[in-house]
Amino acid sequence: MIKTRLIPVLYIKNGLIVRSEDFNYHQMIGNVVNEAKRYNEWNVDELIYIDISRESSYDLRRDDHKIKSYSTIEEIVKTISQTCFMPLTFGGGIRTLDQIDFLIKNGADKITLNTGAIESPDLIKQASEKYGSQAIVLSIDYKLIDKKPIIFSKFGQSDTGIDVFDWIKEIERLGAGEVFLNCIDRDGKASGYDIETIGKVVDSTRLPVIACGGAGDSYDFVDLAKETKVSGIAAGNWFHFVERSYPRAKQLMKKNGINVR
Amino acid sequence: MKIGVVNYGMGNIASVCNAINFIGFEASVINSPNELETCDKIILPGVGAFPVAMKNLNELQFIEPLNEKVISKKTPIIGLCLGMQLLFDSSEEHGKHDGLGWVKGQVKDLKSEITLTVPHMGWNRLEVKKESKLLIGIPEEELDYYFVHSFYCKCENHADIIAAVNYGIEMDVMIQKDNIYGCQFHPEKSQKSGLELLKNFCNL
């Protein structure tokens, strides 16, 4: 049977990997390519890169003297795809088909759409017709408001008023191939996954769902895999700060009867 | 040794070339049929829809030279993902369409036969049916490969099947008929186990 995927998410800001909290506070962690090498050695299932740079171009003055930053996303995608032989997803700030062409041409297997898809849903259709649904991941950031998951766009700052379940029906119709579901309230909080919402979302769609937000220790992965039919479990911060975090998490999942690689 | 990667406008051939170069061989992108002549091995990659792929191969006039190279001259070829599906007689993706017809069998719609999530996306373990040179040196517990597809292959001759995977239905995901090989999964995206498989192909 198909295995539950465990997926590190790397947030890139101005060419460097950062740790994220509340979608707002970002701490520089390291060089994009060095981090990729580490994940390659850990034999990870898949990698997701999200560029959260606020500015349209990288501000190199922010460069830390000890850490080399990369000046363009092109350079990042190219370099990573030459050394990492796993599925690579890139996203963040995508608004046009040209940007998608560019990422896929340079080595991305999938791209994520978030605010761009909300502003222009037709982009989902155009992109999936050109590259196939499997390449188009819809990234959805939500907060619970009166117990309902409501989508926030523009780096999680802007309340769209759209219900997650309604939006997933719509994106499935438009040709999206996968959902990357991120709980804003739990970003960087290490408080565990929002299992209830994730479970409901997974049951509401035939699209594979990757869930993110709130991993605090490896048991959070086990709980989420046991209690939902989630297709992928993603985490950002946690993998950066715990020694040999990824292989140890996989071991624990295996020990608890989760079908992982 | 020249490993030719056929570029017929279907998907990202860069990742296949990156993998071949990484394992110490040299990938040559084959943009026109006359470049096939000097290839020692051929890789037919592909992401996208079956009818478009066949149309592109036709329009770029790849079909005859490929037949000559693969059927007459017996040059080893491997089809990856959509590239494997093209090796078969026909596919039912967007109507019925003929394939290259080198391997007996059909490509069928997964969605109409199972209730599980489609595409079949993620890592799955191969169920080996027959020994293959491509799997030499890869331990059984490492036969996990990355899949992403909505249509699946069904061989007519059991002898052609190297490995299958069960996902609500049994799918033939790795095949060999003489010098013709195919993988439904993406070895170029399957970490060490995938790179080993590609290395075995290049070393044939």
3-state secondary structure chain B: CEEEEECCCCCCHHHHHHHHHHCCCEEEEECCHHHCCCCCEEEECCCCCHHHHHHHHHHCCCHHHHHHHHHHCCCCEEEECHHHHCCEEEECCCCCEECCCCEEEEEEECCCCCCCCCCEEEEEECEECCCCHHHCCCCHHHCEEEEEECEEEEECCHHHEEEEEECCCEEEEEEEECCEEEECCCHHHCHHHHHHHHHHHHCC
* Interface contacts A/B by beta carbons within 8 Å: 90
A92 touches B: beta carbon within 8 Å: no
Longest dimension (CA), chain A: 49
Task: Assess contact for A112 and A90: CB atoms under 8 A.
Answer: yes
Angle A230-A231-A233 (CA atoms, 0-180°, nearest 5)? 75
Please give the pLDDT value at position A59: 47
Mean pLDDT to the nearest integer, A168-177: 95
CB-nearest partner of B14 from A86, A107, A208? A107
Residues 6+ apart with CB under 8 A from A236: A8, A9, A10, A11, A19, A20, A188, A212
Nearest chain A CA: its distance from B164 CA (Å): 12
Confidence check: pLDDT of A161 > 60 = yes
Distance (Å, whole) CA B134 – CA B126:
13
Tokens 């499935």 locate to A172
Please give the pLDDT value at position A70: 65
CB-nearest partner of A261 from B120, B144, B167? B144
Residue A103 forms part of a structural domain? yes
Please give the pLDDT value at position B64: 96
Please give the pLDDT value at position A22: 74
Residue A186 forms part of a structural domain? yes
Q: Name the fold adopted by B2-202.
A: Rossmann fold (3.40.50)
Q: How confident is the model over B164-200, as pLDDT tens digits?
A: 999 999 999 999 999 999 999 999 999 999 999 999 9
Please give the pLDDT value at position B11: 72
* Inter-chain CB proximity B189 and A133 less than 8 Å: no
C-alpha A180 chain-centroid distance: 6
* Inter-chain CB proximity B166 and A3 less than 8 Å: no
Task: Assess contact for B202 and B1: CB atoms under 8 A.
Answer: yes
- Mean residue pLDDT of chain A comes to 88
Please give the pLDDT value at position A61: 46
What CATH number is given to the structural domain containing A227?
3.20.20.70
A232 touches B: beta carbon within 8 Å: yes
Distance (Å, whole) CA A71 – CA B140:
42
Please give the pLDDT value at position A133: 87
Around Cβ A170, how many Cβ atoms within 10 Å? 15
Q: Looking at chain A, which residue has its C-alpha nearest residue B187?
A: A85
B146 touches A: beta carbon within 8 Å: yes
Around Cβ B72, how many Cβ atoms within 10 Å? 8
* Inter-chain CB proximity B47 and A134 less than 8 Å: yes
CA-nearest of A147, A139, A133 to A116 is A139
- Domain of residue A111, residue span: 5-255
| Residue numbers in B near A254 (CB within 8 A) | none
pLDDT-based confidence at residue A68 (cuts at 50, 70, 90): low
ipTM for the whole complex: 0.86
Q: Catalytic positions of B, please?
A: 81, 186, 188
Question: What single-letter amino acid sits at B136?
Answer: I
Please give the pLDDT value at position A63: 47
Distance (Å, whole) CA B174 – CA B129:
9
Mean pLDDT to the nearest integer, A2-30: 85
Which of helix, strand or coil describes residue A260? coil
Residue A261 forms part of a structural domain? no
Confidence check: pLDDT of A108 > 80 = yes
Count up the domains in chain A and report the number: 1
| Residue numbers in A near B197 (CB within 8 A) | none
- A28 vs B27: which has the higher pLDDT: B27
Nearest chain B CA: its distance from A158 CA (Å): 31
Please give the pLDDT value at position A56: 52
Residue A260 forms part of a structural domain? no
Q: Tokens at residue A199, please?
A: 């479970």
Please give the pLDDT value at position B46: 84
Q: Tokens at residue B171, please?
A: 């799918």
Point out the least confidently predicted range of A59-63, A111-115, A133-137, A156-160: A59-63
* Inter-chain CB proximity B120 and A2 less than 8 Å: yes
Task: Assess contact for A83 and A36: CB atoms under 8 A.
Answer: yes
* Inter-chain CB proximity B11 and A131 less than 8 Å: yes
* pLDDT beneath 50, residues of chain B: none
Nearest chain A CA: its distance from B101 CA (Å): 24
Please give the pLDDT value at position A83: 87
Q: Looking at chain A, which residue has its C-alpha nearest residue B48?
A: A132
Tokens 């759209």 locate to A162
Global pTM reads 0.90
Testing the interface with A: which of B148, B150, B166 to mutate, by most A Cβ within 10 A?
B148
A172 touches B: beta carbon within 8 Å: no
B141 touches A: beta carbon within 8 Å: no
Task: Assess contact for A183 and A193: CB atoms under 8 A.
Answer: yes
Please give the pLDDT value at position A25: 76
Please give the pLDDT value at position A201: 97
Please give the pLDDT value at position A192: 93
Distance (Å, whole) CA B111 – CA B129:
25
Please give the pLDDT value at position A55: 59
Please give the pLDDT value at position A241: 74
